[in-house]
Amino acid sequence: MATVTRKFRDDFDAWAADRIARGQFTEAEMAEFKDMLRRDLAPGPDQLREGQTIILAAGVEMPATIDDHEERYRLWADFFAAEAQAIKRIKAGEVR
């Protein structure tokens, strides 16, 4: 299982609590998401996006896999950090 930093965990928990409170996830769905995230953060090749492709603006198709688990971690950490910050700003009344 992947080990995450306290900040990652706190940001994820803030995001998860917000999504459950909004009704976008049930507790069971969030548990499934968390299991998927653990698998995605584990070292080794990207099994979540295996066989998927993306098409760049130039029309070039390329694999969607991210085989570097540290890069996958960084992308998830950045996402949850941005989301947690937005949630804090909304709760503080900075954003309507």
Answer whether 34's CB lies under 8 Å from 26's CB: no
- Residues 71 and 65: their CA atoms lie apart, in Å, by 11
**Which pLDDT score is estimated for 74?**
97
Answer whether 38's CB lies under 8 Å from 2's CB: yes
Pull the structure tokens for residue 45: 């090749």
- Residues 80 and 74: their CA atoms lie apart, in Å, by 10
Instruction: Tell me the per-residue pLDDT of 30-84, one tens digit each, with 9 for 90 and over.
Output: 999 999 999 999 999 999 999 999 999 999 999 999 999 999 999 999 999 999 9
pLDDT > 90? residue 96: no
**Which pLDDT score is estimated for 3?**
86
pLDDT > 80? residue 25: yes
- Residues 96 and 83: their CA atoms lie apart, in Å, by 15
Answer whether 83's CB lies under 8 Å from 15's CB: yes
**Residue ranges of domains in the chain:** 1-41+67-96
Model confidence at 94, pLDDT cuts 50, 70, 90, reads: confident
